[in-house]
Amino acid sequence: MLDVLSTLLLVLFLVGHLVLAGADVGLSMLMPRVARGPAQRRRVVAAIAPYFLASEVWLVALVGILAGLFPALEHHVVAELWPVLVVLTVGLLVRDAGLWLRSRVPDDRWRAVWDGAVVAGGWTLALAWGWVTASLIAGDPAVTPFTVACASTVVSLFALRGAAFGAERLVEDPTAESADVAARDTRWLAGVALAATLVTVVAAVPGPGPVDPSAAAIPTAVMAVALTATLGTSGPMLSRYTSAIAIAVPGVTVAVASGLPVASIPDTTAVLVWSVLTPAIPVMLIGQVWLYRMTRRPSRSPGFFA
């Protein structure tokens, strides 16, 4: 019982992180495209800033759950994937350093450097997540047609999620120019993601595809439907939801199709963790929901981050 709950918790934090961080990481990637000039760049950072801390904590919690409740699984993942994890950490470090530091010195060159770090870190993060997903599904981090296609799918899902988020959050701009670019981008990004998905499926057939292909079929189909819906003329309107569904799929697929070794958790540890965690869950939820609701409208005056 606690085993099942703990596994669900692990999947919840993986999917939660992908869905929430997809938005701010994706928009970091698209900054050069949706923002022209310092004023628009400031607005993009102001749209990202309220969320990056609140989405990153899901990742930290994910690592914590792995270490405390699934040490054997963590050991397996780290042993297999440590170079990818180093890349992921570097991406996180560079992107976050950009966000924390860009507004610290009122100088255009300084800001340009750290805006560059936000963009580079965003791309690195998306790529690293793509590589992690592909390696876990294939059971091996080697570069094969499958891992390349799968990683490209994940990268395009991050970009799509970022575009959807930008279309929604950048409308405060007096001209709404950035929001319009982002909204139009959702349609072709959905196309790219869909094409990459098809290539991934084709590549999975001969080569080292998912350990359990039948389990991967349903999530992949759900993703294809969500992406197809985003292609149409109402795509920009729907993308807020469809991009969330689509980016959740890699997480779910890893959970159901990769055949990762999950050992049963010793009772005393499970009971300790759950009895301390249960009273904390409402506080965790209240904080997250409150933050996402409160910051729906970006602030116009300069703040700590932008």
Partner 1 sequence: MFDDPLLLARLQFAFTAATHYMFVALTLGLAPYILVTQLRATAGGDRGRMTAVRFWGGLYLVNYGMGVLSGLVMELQLAVNWTGLQKMYGYSFGAPLALETMTAFFIESTFLGLWIFGWNRMGRWAHLSCFAVVTATAYLSAWWVLVSNGFLRHPVGFEMVDGVAHLTDPAALLTNPAATMAFGHIVTGTLLVGGAVVIAVSAYHLRRGNDPHRIFARGIRYGTLVMCLVPIPVAAFGGVQFELFGQAPPTSGQTYSASEIEAVEAAGSAVHPAIGPTADALMMGMWALMFFLGPVLLLAWPLGGLDRWRWFLAPLVVLPFAPYLASVGGWVFRETGRQPWTVVHHLTTADAMTPLSPAAAAISFGLFTVAFAVLAGVTYWLLVRYARRGPEDGPLADHRDREPAEAPVPAPTF
Residue with tokens 């499926």: 201
According to DSSP, residue 304 is labeled S
Q: Is 300 in the site for partner 1 (CB under 8 A)?
A: yes
- Residue 302, both tokens: 């300069």
Q: Which is nearer to ligand HDD, 89 or 234 (CB)?
A: 89
Of the residues 8, 82, 207, 241, which one makes contact with partner 1 according to CB under 8 A: 82
User: With CB under 8 A as the contact rule, which of the stretches 119-127, 130-138, 254-262, 263-271 interacts with partner 1?
Assistant: 263-271
Q: Could you tell me the smallest distance in angstroms from the CB atom of residue 29 to ligand HDD?
A: 20
Q: Is 24 in the site for ligand HDD (CB under 6 A)?
A: no
Of the residues 4, 79, 107, 233, which one makes contact with partner 1 according to CB under 8 A: 79
Cβ-count burial 90-116 (b if 16+ within 10 Å, e if not) = ebbebbbebbbbbbeeeeeeebeebbe
- Residue 45, both tokens: 């950072």
- Residue 201, both tokens: 């499926």
Query: Do 35 and 165 meet the contact criterion of CB atoms below 8 Å apart?
Result: no
Query: Do 9 and 65 meet the contact criterion of CB atoms below 8 Å apart?
Result: yes
Say which entry of partner 1, ligand HDD, none residue 175 contacts (CB below 5 to 8 A, set by partner kind).
partner 1
Say which amino acid occupies 169.
Answer: R
- Residue 178, both tokens: 């950035």
Q: Could you tell me the smallest distance in angstroms from the CB atom of residue 159 to ligand HDD?
A: 24
Q: Nearest Cα to 129, choosing from 108, 168, 105, 157? A: 157
Q: Is 78 in the site for ligand HDD (CB under 6 A)?
A: no
Say which entry of ligand HDD, partner 1, none residue 282 contacts (CB below 5 to 8 A, set by partner kind).
none
The alpha helices in the chain, defined as continuous H runs, are: 2-34, 37-69, 71-101, 108-138, 145-169, 177-204, 213-231, 235-257, 267-294
What would you report as the CA-atom Rg of the chain, rounded to the nearest whole angstrom? 19
Query: Do 149 and 199 meet the contact criterion of CB atoms below 8 Å apart?
Result: yes
- Residue 32, both tokens: 């050069």
Dmax (CA) of the chain: 58
Q: Is 291 in the site for ligand HDD (CB under 6 A)?
A: no
Say which entry of ligand HDD, partner 1, none residue 214 contacts (CB below 5 to 8 A, set by partner kind).
none
Of the residues 5, 8, 67, 112, which one makes contact with partner 1 according to CB under 8 A: 67
Of the residues 8, 32, 71, 207, which one makes contact with partner 1 according to CB under 8 A: 71
Q: Give, as ranges, the residues between 116 and 155 that touch partner 1 (CB under 8 A).
A: none
Q: Is 60 in the site for ligand HDD (CB under 6 A)?
A: yes
Q: Which is nearer to partner 1, 74 or 212 (CB)?
A: 74
Q: Which is nearer to ligand HDD, 100 or 188 (CB)?
A: 100
Q: Which is nearer to partner 1, 122 or 219 (CB)?
A: 122
Q: Is 56 in the site for ligand HDD (CB under 6 A)?
A: yes
Burial of 300 (0-12, 13-18, 19+ CB in 10 A): exposed
Contacts with partner 1: how many residues (CB under 8 A)? 68
Instruction: Summarize as ranges the residues that interact with partner 1 (CB under 8 A).
Output: 37-39, 42, 49-50, 53-54, 56-58, 60-61, 63-65, 67-72, 74-75, 78-79, 82, 85-86, 89, 92-93, 96-97, 100-101, 103-104, 174-177, 180, 265-266, 268-269, 271-273, 276-277, 280, 283-284, 287-288, 290-291, 294-295, 299-305
Instruction: Summarize as ranges the residues that interact with ligand HDD (CB under 6 A).
Output: 56, 60
